[in-house]
Structure 1
Amino acid sequence: MPPWLEHFAVAVCAISGVLAAAGRGVDLFGVLVLALVTAVGGGTIRDVCLGAEPVFWIQNPSVTVTALLTALATFVVARFWRMPLRALLVADAVGLAMFTIVGAEKSLQYQESGIIAVILGVITGVAGGIIRDVLCRELPLVFRQETFLYATAATIGSVAYVLLYRFAPSVPMPGLIGMIVILLLRLAAIVWKWRLPVFDSRT
């Protein structure tokens, strides 16, 4: 993935971390922490599982700088201007698509099996948001029905990428195809409110 795309994905995730702090009485330091864990949390868990040393944001400190500067700018701008929700959802969907495929791609580079690549791809895409919501003492967004196929879209796109990589090596740019699958599924789910069945026990 081109470096600028990785920085874009980190910036988008950092913005979502800042906005999650809205109305919670969190100071600037807390906002920066939430932004940073959202931006790098999933990739950190992936690298620890793979034994990749050092983890990606230590190996490339500019990623951390991007996350912190984006968080700081968002903290200032959000005090004067309300960000359009739809634009943020689209940008977040792009970040999800890129991070998921990057996670799956790195797992395959470490000679992991297809199922492990899918799992670590999804973790890369969604774990940062889970950590953010736990710190905010909320049910993680990815587990709520109103999120509309967040982790599901990441899973399907990751599976598509791994299958193309393993069994259709002649297909050009399987990573791009996987990203497009995730992006289209996520955006379609937002527009048409697709969701998985909700667990409802009779007892």
Structure 2
Amino acid sequence: MTPLEVLEYASVAVFALTGALVASRSQLDLVGFIFIACLTAVGGGTLRDLLLGRDPVFWVGRPGFIVVAALAALVVFFSAHLLESRYRALLWLDACALAVAVPVGVGVTIGMGYGPVTVLVMGVATGSFGGLMRDVVCNEVPLLLRQGELYLTAAFCGAGAALAAGALGWPGLPALLACAAVTFGLRAGSLAFGWALPVYKARPPRPDAPKR
């Protein structure tokens, strides 16, 4: 098994745990847990593979990914009640999943011979779309849309770090590890220390401005 495949399995497992935690917050049954876990685990990678024309889609060619996601859902189904704060656990697990999934998206896209722009987009998509699908289906506020937090920015900077490392002559695995470190560092800093980018704030209209 290659290092990229190890990262891919890790991404699926950790994202599946986050999906199952959200399912526990929605009080779903066991089948619901497995569905949400699998959707979260493979959603970003499926979108990536469809856009890149990768045939077959990664989990279709290797169904073991679905088995891993289902097992993760079972673990959470029987143990979620032991967590003091499921939401806090969700945030940190999601940060770990993001830090693993973005390098996977970057590695797969580079391996298929695509250029830097596509690598950046697919790194972000792989890391973020599974969680977005999870939150939308479970009627949660998507983590990537929470005001002021570094989420998409962390994924983008992580993918950029991999490209920069590659440009400096770093081999594949160290470049992907740099991607993971930057992604997790920024996301963790946002959660622990409130790191954030300025958000847009509309200026109030002038009192003498004409009404439209």
Return the TM-score normalized by structure 1. 0.88
State how 1:66-81 maps to structure 2 within 5 Å.
66-79=68-81, 81=82
Task: Identify the residue that residue 155 of structure 1 maps to in structure 2.
Answer: 156
Instruction: State the shift of 1:198 in Å.
Output: 3.1
- Equivalents in 2 of 1:70, 1:83: separation in Å? 19
Write out aligned runs for 1:8-19 (5 A): 8-19=10-21
Separation in structure 1 between the aligned mates of residue 194 and residue 52 of structure 2, nearest angstrom: 35
Contact 2:24 2:80 in 1 (8 A): no
Tell me if structure 2 keeps the 8 A contact 1:145–1:196.
no
Q: CA deviation at 1:197?
A: 2.6
Tell me how many residue pairs correspond in the alignment.
200
Structure-to-structure mapping, 1:62-141, within 5 angstroms: 62-79=64-81, 81-82=82-83, 89-141=91-143
Is contact 2:21–2:90 with CA below 8 Å preserved after alignment? no
1:90 deviates by 3.9
Structure index of larger Rg: 2
Aligned mate of 1:22, from 21, 24, 31: 24
Q: How far, CA to CA, are the matches of 1:84 and 1:155 in structure 2?
A: 29
Equivalent of 2:48 in 11, 21, 46 = 46
Given the superposition, is the C-alpha separation of residues 113 and 3 from structure 1 closer, same or farther in structure 2, using an over 3 Å criterion? closer
Distance 1:27 1:106, change over 3 A: same
Distance 1:127 1:53, change over 3 A: same
Unaligned runs of 5+ in 1: none
Cα deviation for residue 84 of structure 1 reads 5.5
Greater shift after overlay, 41-50 or 171-180?
Answer: 171-180
Instruction: Kindly indicate whether the alpha-carbon contact (under 8 Å) linking 1:104 and 1:158 is maintained by their aligned counterparts in 2.
Output: yes
**Deviation of the 1:47 alpha carbon:** 0.3
- Cα contact 1:97–1:180 (8 A) shared by 2: yes
TM-score by length of 2: 0.85
- 153-162 vs 3-12, which moves further: 3-12
| Distance in 2 of aligned mates of 1:30 and 1:104 | 30
Q: Which runs of 5+ in 2 are unaligned?
A: 206-212
Distance 1:5 1:97 in 2: 10
Question: What is the letter of the counterpart of residue 161 of structure 2?
Answer: A
Distance 1:50 1:16, change over 3 A: same
